[in-house]
Structure 1
Amino acid sequence: MTEINHHLRSIKEVLGKTYKVPFYQREYRWKRKQFEELLNDLQEEFLNHFEESHGRDRVAQYKSYFLGTVLTTTDSATSRKIIIDGQQRLTSLTLFFIYSLQRRRAAEALNITDYTSLIQTESYGERVLNFEADNDRAELINKLSEIDDEGSRSFDFVGEASEGTKNLFHRFNDIESILNDKIKDEYFAYFSDWVAEKVVLFEIVVPTEHDAHKVFVTMNDRGLNLTPSEMLKGFLLSKITHSVKHGEAHALWEDKIRELKKIDNDEDANFLRTWLRAKYAKNIRGKAAGEEKKDFENIGDSYHRWLLDNKDGVGINTGDDYQSFVLDNFKKYVDLYLKVQKYSSEFTDGYHHIYYNSSKDITMQSMLILSAIKLDDSDSVAERKIQLVSKYLDYYTSLRAVNLKKNTYDNLKDILFSLCLKIRDKTEEELKEIFVKHASDSGLSFDEVDNFTYSKASTKSLLNVLARLAAYIEEGVEQTNSVGYDVYIDRKRTSRTFDIEHILADEYGVFTGATTNNDFDSESEYKTKRNMLGGLILLPRSRNRSLQEKPYSEKVTRYSSENILAQTLTSDFYENNPQVERFLETSLLNLKSYEDFNKQCLEERHLVYKDIVKKIWSIDEIVS
C-alpha cells in the first residue's frame, strides 16, 4: 500500500466533490437520535462562540470544529471519489444543506448563502448529484432540492422506496424541529456559513478501494481505532482481578452489546451515554456564550474518558467495585434500557406512554426512566416507576405542546436533565410529589387548548392530540373495529396515512352557500374559528383530499364509515348503541351528532374535546 495521504478539509471542500457510494453501504441508516445529536453538537458549538453583537464576517474568526474522519479513494473510471467510511455523516450534512436551500428561498431577508454546489454540480450541461444515488433516492433529493425537471412536490413514492430512502426523508423532516429557534429564524445564514467553512473533517485518501479496505479494517478491527464502547469495556474488565468473575463480566458485556446493536449499530454508545447521564452526571453547561462543557456534554462527547476521569465520584475503586459495576449495575440498566427501547417501537399494553413519548420524538425518555430506578429496586417497583415516569413525561410534554411550546431536544434538554437530577433514585411516593410540584411550577394549563389551533400549533402536535382523543373514545365505547393510536400517527401508510381534516370547508362561500344557519360574525371570524381543535377530525389522506372542499352536509354522509372522530358527528353512531350510551353517561361528555355545523356547533364540540384532553392528561390520575 503506497501514497496514503491525509488532509484537513472544511465541510464545503468535502461536499463540493462528487462521490460514488459502494453498493454494500448505500443504505442510509441513521435514526433521529444520531441525526439529532449531530445537529445539536453543531448548534451548541456554534452558540458557544456566537454573540448577537457579532457581524456575519466575524464567523470567519470562530474556532474550527473537528467533526471526525472520512476515508476515501478515487474511482479511476469516473474520477468520482469513493466513500469507504463516513457516508452516514456526509449524507446527513447534505440533508442540512438541502434544508439550507429551502430556507434561502423561504426567507430571502436572511441572505443565506447558496450552497447548491454542495448538493449537485453541472457536468457537460447536465445536473449531477454530488452523491451517486439510486433512482428513488435521486428522485427524493431532487424533489427536496426543488431541482427536478417536472417541479412535482408529491412524496407518495417514498412509501414504496427503500428503507434508506425512507430514513433520508424522515431525517430531512426532522431538521425543522431540531434547529434552535433563534438560529433558524434569525441567524441561519451565520450558522450555515459556519458549518460549511469552519467545521472540518480529516480525510484519509488511499490509492485504490482495495487499499482503503485495508486501512478501514486496520482502523476498526486491529485496535488502532477502537470504539469508545470497546475502550470502556477494556478499562472496566482490566480492573476485575477475580478470573471467574472476569469471564462472567466479559460474557455479559459482549452479550448485552450484541443485543443493543440489533437495534442499531450505534445503540451501545446511545445506552452508555444515557446510563452515565442518568445515574452519575451532576451538571450541564450553562446557556451563556463561552460556558465550558460539564458532565452532560462531556459524557456525550467521550463517555469512556469521562468515566475514567470520574471513577471516584462514580464509586468504582476496588476490584470488587468494578465487578459489581458490570455484573450488577451495567446488567440492570442495560436490561431496563432494552425494555424501554422495545416499548418505544411496539405499542404494548401497560407501556403505551413509552410509545406516546417516542412518537413525539422525546429522545431523553430513557434517561429519565433509568434515573428514577434504584439498583436495588425489585422488578415490580421498577415496572411501576417505568409507568409513572413515562406517564408524567407524556403529561408534561403534552402540556407544553398545548401551550404552544416546542418539545425539541434543544428546548427540553436543560429542563429534563434538571428533572433527572431531582428524581434520581427516589421512591415512588417521592416521585409523585416531585411530579406534582414540577407540573405546578411550570405555570402551564390545559385550558390553553383554546389557543391550540391549526394555524398556531405544529401539525405533528395536533395530529398527536387528535389521535389520543380518537383512541380515548374508541376505548371508552369498546369499539371492536377501532383504528388505534399507533395507526393514527403512523406516517408511512402512503394514501392510507391519516391527515387532519377541517370539518368546515376552507372557502367561506362554500359554507354560506350550503347553510341557512350562519352565525359567524364575518368571513374573518369563520377563517379563524374553523381552525379550533373542535373543528378538526382525522381522515385517511386519500379521503381527506376528496372531501376537504365540500360543504358539511355532503361530508357528514360519508363520515359514518370513517374513524371514530368522524363517526361521532353522525346520528348513526348513537342509534341503538348501548356502549356509546353507557360511555356518555359515565364520562359526562356532551358528544352528539350534527345535521348542520355552524359556529355554535363548533364551539360545543371544542368544549367536548377540551374535556377529553383534561381527562386524558390529569396529574391527579398519574399520582393517584
Structure 2
Amino acid sequence: MGSSISGKAFNLNALFEKPFYQIDYYQREYAWSADDVRTLVTDLFTAFDEHWQDGRRRWQRTEPEHFFLGPFVYVEESRGVRFLVDGQQRFTTLHLLFMHLRRIADSYRQPTTVDKLNRVIGEFNGNRLRFRIDIDERREFLTRLYNGVRFELDVGAPISVRNMSFRSGLIKELLDQQLTAESCAPFVDWLLNHAVLIGIKAGNKASGFKIFESMNDRGARLTSADLVKSFLISQVGAHQDELNERWRKMLARVTTDREDANAPKEFLKAALIAHYASMGDESSADMREIEEALNIWVRKKAEARVGLKTSEDYFTFVNDLIYLSEHYVRFKKALSKPYLSDNLEAVYYNAVNGLTNQLQLVLAAVRPRDTATDAKSKARLVANYLDRLYVSRMLSDQPLGARDFEAEYRVLIPQLRMCETEPQVAETLAAALPPESFQAIYNFQLRGNNKAQVRYLLTRLTAYVEVGCGKHDLSAEYLNEDRAWQVEHLWPNHPDWYNHEIPERGDFLVLRARIGSLVLLHRKDNASLNDMRFHEKIQRYGRQNNLTAVLDPGHRRNNTFIRDFVNDKDNKDNDLGEHFHDFGTDPKMQTVVASRTELYRRLCQIIWKPQRLGFPTFEPPELAEPARQNEPAPPPRRRPTPNARTAIARMMKHGILPDGVPIFARASNYRATIDGDGIIWLPTGDAFVSVDEAGRAVSGLDKCDGLDFWQVTGEDGATNSLRIIHNNAKADGRLASTQRRR
C-alpha cells in the first residue's frame, strides 16, 4: 500500500490518557443505535462481573482476561495527535461512557477515580478543556455534559450531536442502574486497564483509507452469514441457483437499514436459537456459540440439532428460513414504533425497555408457513407476555436486563416450538403467567437507578387514560429518546413545608418518591412548575394529560369524556371512579398518595389483564382490601429479591452483623434495620436491596455511598459506619471470599 503498517494492542488508559483524536468532517456521522449502546454496556458489565466481586478479583488469577473491543485504524498526524480513520463509533461511545462514569464517581466522592477519568476525557489548557476527541461541532455539547449543564437540542443541530445527546441519556440510565458506590471504582479500573482495542497504524491518510476500505469491503469480506449460506446452499443439489437467488432477496429484506451490515447475522441467530438451539443443560454453551461463531455451530450441529441429513433436508431448511424471514422483517419494523393497527405495540415497548433478544422468543412461536395474520397474532401474545412479566419484575425490584429473562426463555422456547396454533400459544403463555395483583406498586418509588422504569409505567398509565378519554395514544412520544417527557413530583422537595403532617424528613422524602406522588409532564411544563406547592401546581394541571389534570378540582366538571371513561365496563368493574378524582386544594399528602397509588394499581390490573392481552380466563389472585380515600394505610411490606453479592448481604451471611441489626443515618439519625438477607427496611415499610438506594431515599441525595452513610452502634456503645465494620471484617479475614478457583 505504499507505506508501513503496524498493529498494537492498547488498553483504554493508553488509548485515551495522552493522545487527542481528530476526524475529518466528511466521515460518517456518529450513528450508533440504542441497541448498539445497550449491547456494549451489557457486555462490559458481564465481563466485569466475571472477574470482580465486592471490589476485588473473584477468581484467583494473576491477571483478568482482556475484553476485546475490536480494531481501529489511525494515522499519527503529529506529536500527541492522531487522525482516526476507522473506529469513531466506538471511540465516541467510550468517551461518553467516561463522562458519565466521572459524574457517578464524583457523586460518590471518589476523587481518585474522578482523576483517572478526567485524564481520559481531556486536558485543561488554562480554563479551556480540550477533549480527547477534538471536533469543533461537538465541543459545546461535551462541555455542557462535563459540567452537568443541560444541553438543549435545536432544530439545526448536527446529526452526530443529536445522536450523541440521545445515546448520552441512555448511557446515563444504564450506568445508574448498574453501578453502586462499591462497584464504581473497580469497574473504572477494570475498564481502563482490561478493555482493549487493536490499533492498526498507517503511514499516512491515503494508506489508512485503503486499509479501511479493505476491512469494510463487503464484496471481498465473507461474514458469518455468508459462510452459513455457502455451506447450506452447497448441500441442496439441483436447487442451488434457485435458493441462492431467494437467499439474496431474503438478505435484502432483513437488511432494512443499509448501514446495518449485521442484520442477516442477527436474523439467523434469532431463528436458530428460536427453533433449533438446545435449551437443556448445555444451552448456555449452545447459545453462546450461535452468538459468537454462527457458521461453526451450523456446520457442527447441522445433523444433531437441525436434523439435516439429505439434500432435501437442506432444501427444506433453507426454504423455511426464507419464509421465516418475511415474518421477522415485520416484527423488526415493530421494534421502532408501536404498530397499534397490528396490535404489535408491545414489541415496541419491549424494545424500549431493552429486551433486545425478544425476537428469539417471538420466532419460537411462529411457523415459517404461518399466514401474516397468524404470525402477528402469535407475536402479539409473546410480546404481551414479556411486557407483563417486565412490569411484574419491575414492581418487585428484580433485575431487568435482557439476560435476566433468559431463564424464562429456556423454559418457554421448547414449549412454544410445540405450538402450531394461536390458541396453543395463548394457553402455553397463560400457564407461565405468574399471578399478579400489582400490590407491589405500593412500595414502588422513584430511585436513583430506576428512572426509566418509572417513566415507562407512567407512560402506560397515562396513555391508557388519554385514549379512554378520546385522545390519541402518545406512548411513542412519551418514550421518545429525546426524553422530553419527565417524571414530575406532586410535592416540592421541601420537607419543612409539610412537617406538620410528616415530622420525619426521611419519611417525607420516601413518600414524595412513591409512584402515587408522581405524574408525567413535558419537560417545559415541568420546569415552569419548579418549587410550587401542591395547591399551586394543581391549578396548572388542568391543561395536562387527564391522569394529571384530574387533580385540578375544576377539570372533571362537565367533562363527558371522563364520565364515559370511568363508566367504561372494564373501568367501572374496577371502581376507577372511586379514585379518579381531585382532592381539593389542601389535602393530606398521605391521603393523596394512598388513593393515587390504588388508582395506579387498578389501572395496571386493567392494562395488563390477561384476557385483555389475549390469554384465556383464569382466577385472579386474592387482593388485599384497598385503601379508602380518608383512611390512608401503610403500604404492605413487600420483600424484594435479595442479592447475595452485595457487600451488606455478605456481611450478614458471615455473621458480621446480627439479623435485624438497627442502623441509623449519619446526619439525620433516621432509623432502619437490616435483615439476615441484607435487605434494608425503613419504618415506612419500604425495603431496599442496596444500602446506597436506601440512603438516597431518606437523604434526598442524587447519589449516596450507603456504607459510609449508615451507622451502627456496637455492644460497647461505640458508633461506626458500615464501611468501617466491612473493612475491618475484610482485614481480619472474617469476610474472606468463599469463591472457588476455576
**Shared fold per TM-score greater than 0.5:** yes
Alpha-carbon distance in 2 for matches of 1:545, 1:619? 38
The aligned residue for residue 75 of structure 1 is 77
Letter of the 1:211 partner, please give it: S
Which of 520, 524, 537 pairs up with 1:555? Answer: 537
Q: Is 1:434 the equivalent of 2:428?
A: yes
Q: Is 1:332 the equivalent of 2:329?
A: no
**What displacement does 1:491 show?**
4.3
The aligned residue for residue 575 of structure 1 is 557
Check conservation: 1:499, 1:544, Cα contact below 8 A.
Answer: yes
Check conservation: 1:180, 1:410, Cα contact below 8 A.
Answer: no
Q: How does 1:418-433 map to 2 (within 5 A)?
A: 418-427=411-420, 428-433=422-427
Check conservation: 1:110, 1:186, Cα contact below 8 A.
Answer: no
The aligned residue for residue 479 of structure 2 is 489
- SS of the residue corresponding to residue 252 of structure 2 reads helix
The aligned residue for residue 460 of structure 2 is 468
Q: Is 1:603 the equivalent of 2:594?
A: yes
Give the superposed CA RMSD.
Answer: 3.3
Alpha-carbon distance in 1 for matches of 2:523, 2:87? 37
Q: Is 1:245 the equivalent of 2:245?
A: no
Check conservation: 2:273, 2:360, Cα contact below 8 A.
Answer: yes
The aligned residue for residue 289 of structure 1 is none
| Change beyond 3 A, Cα 1:170–1:453 | same
Check conservation: 1:158, 1:165, Cα contact below 8 A.
Answer: no
- SS of the residue corresponding to residue 465 of structure 2 reads helix
| Change beyond 3 A, Cα 1:569–1:378 | same
Q: Is 1:369 the equivalent of 2:358?
A: no
| Change beyond 3 A, Cα 1:417–1:122 | farther
Letter of the 1:25 partner, please give it: Q
| Change beyond 3 A, Cα 1:221–1:352 | closer
Check conservation: 1:505, 1:511, Cα contact below 8 A.
Answer: no
Check conservation: 2:415, 2:428, Cα contact below 8 A.
Answer: yes
Q: How does 1:28-39 map to 2 (within 5 A)?
A: 28-39=30-41
Letter of the 1:383 partner, please give it: K
Check conservation: 1:499, 1:539, Cα contact below 8 A.
Answer: yes
**What displacement does 1:450 show?**
0.3
**Cα shift readout 1:36-57 (whole Å, capped 9, x = no counterpart):** 2223333333433446695599
Alpha-carbon distance in 2 for matches of 1:409, 1:189? 25
**Cα shift readout 1:65-89 (whole Å, capped 9, x = no counterpart):** 433221222336x862222222222
Which of 538, 542, 552 pairs up with 2:520? Answer: 538
Q: How does 1:149-228 map to 2 (within 5 A)?
A: 153-157=149-153, 161-175=157-171, 178=174, 184-221=180-217, 225-228=221-224
Which of 1, 17, 20 pairs up with 1:18? Answer: 20
Alpha-carbon distance in 1 for matches of 2:139, 2:162? 12
- SS of the residue corresponding to residue 26 of structure 2 reads helix
The aligned residue for residue 6 of structure 1 is 7
**What displacement does 1:388 show?**
0.5
| Change beyond 3 A, Cα 1:109–1:119 | closer
Check conservation: 1:5, 1:204, Cα contact below 8 A.
Answer: yes
**What displacement does 1:621 show?**
3.4
Q: List alignment gaps of at least 5 residues for structure 1.
A: 147-151, 287-291, 513-517
- SS of the residue corresponding to residue 75 of structure 2 reads strand
- SS of the residue corresponding to residue 200 of structure 2 reads strand
Which of 478, 481, 484 pairs up with 2:470? Answer: 478
| Change beyond 3 A, Cα 1:375–1:180 | farther
Q: How does 1:295-334 map to 2 (within 5 A)?
A: 295-312=286-303, 313-326=305-318, 328-334=319-325
| Change beyond 3 A, Cα 1:372–1:96 | same
The worse-fitting range, judged by mean Cα deviation, of 443-452 and 244-253 is 244-253
Letter of the 1:190 partner, please give it: P
Check conservation: 1:401, 1:461, Cα contact below 8 A.
Answer: yes
| Change beyond 3 A, Cα 1:371–1:101 | same
| Change beyond 3 A, Cα 1:176–1:579 | closer
**What displacement does 1:439 show?**
2.8
The aligned residue for residue 227 of structure 2 is 231
Alpha-carbon distance in 2 for matches of 1:456, 1:98? 18
Check conservation: 2:466, 2:545, Cα contact below 8 A.
Answer: no
Check conservation: 2:21, 2:83, Cα contact below 8 A.
Answer: yes
The aligned residue for residue 500 of structure 1 is 487
| Change beyond 3 A, Cα 1:246–1:539 | closer
**What displacement does 1:456 show?**
7.3
Identity %: 23
**What displacement does 1:176 show?**
5.2
Letter of the 1:369 partner, please give it: V
**What displacement does 1:449 show?**
0.4
**What displacement does 1:278 show?**
2.1
Check conservation: 1:104, 1:114, Cα contact below 8 A.
Answer: no
**Cα shift readout 1:119-167 (whole Å, capped 9, x = no counterpart):** 21356985322212232x2223333333xxxxx5112237763332233
The worse-fitting range, judged by mean Cα deviation, of 367-376 and 316-325 is 316-325
Check conservation: 1:249, 1:323, Cα contact below 8 A.
Answer: no
The aligned residue for residue 134 of structure 2 is 132
**Cα shift readout 1:411-449 (whole Å, capped 9, x = no counterpart):** 334444443344334243443343334332xx7651000
| Change beyond 3 A, Cα 1:309–1:359 | same
**What displacement does 1:397 show?**
0.3
| Change beyond 3 A, Cα 1:56–1:473 | closer
The aligned residue for residue 405 of structure 1 is 398
| Change beyond 3 A, Cα 1:304–1:85 | farther
**What displacement does 1:337 show?**
2.2
The aligned residue for residue 115 of structure 1 is 117
| Change beyond 3 A, Cα 1:606–1:201 | closer
Check conservation: 1:399, 1:445, Cα contact below 8 A.
Answer: no
| Change beyond 3 A, Cα 1:613–1:378 | same
Q: Is 1:281 the equivalent of 2:277?
A: yes
Alpha-carbon distance in 2 for matches of 1:483, 1:223? 44
- SS of the residue corresponding to residue 385 of structure 1 reads helix
The size of the alignment, in residue pairs, is 598
- SS of the residue corresponding to residue 19 of structure 1 reads strand
Alpha-carbon distance in 1 for matches of 2:215, 2:504? 70
Check conservation: 1:284, 1:297, Cα contact below 8 A.
Answer: no
- SS of the residue corresponding to residue 560 of structure 1 reads helix
Q: How does 1:441-452 map to 2 (within 5 A)?
A: 445-452=437-444
**Cα shift readout 1:184-243 (whole Å, capped 9, x = no counterpart):** 553343333233223332222121111122222233337664332333333333334325
**What displacement does 1:105 show?**
1.5
Alpha-carbon distance in 2 for matches of 1:302, 1:179? 29
Check conservation: 1:403, 1:446, Cα contact below 8 A.
Answer: no
**What displacement does 1:169 show?**
3.0
Q: List alignment gaps of at least 5 residues for structure 2.
A: 617-742
| Change beyond 3 A, Cα 1:159–1:393 | farther
- SS of the residue corresponding to residue 22 of structure 1 reads coil
- SS of the residue corresponding to residue 24 of structure 1 reads coil
Alpha-carbon distance in 2 for matches of 1:23, 1:59? 45
Alpha-carbon distance in 1 for matches of 2:118, 2:376? 51
Q: Which has the higher helix share?
A: 1
Which of 578, 582, 607 pairs up with 1:593? Answer: 582
**What displacement does 1:600 show?**
2.4
Check conservation: 2:489, 2:519, Cα contact below 8 A.
Answer: yes
**What displacement does 1:465 show?**
1.4
**What displacement does 1:410 show?**
4.1
The aligned residue for residue 149 of structure 1 is none
The aligned residue for residue 347 of structure 2 is 354
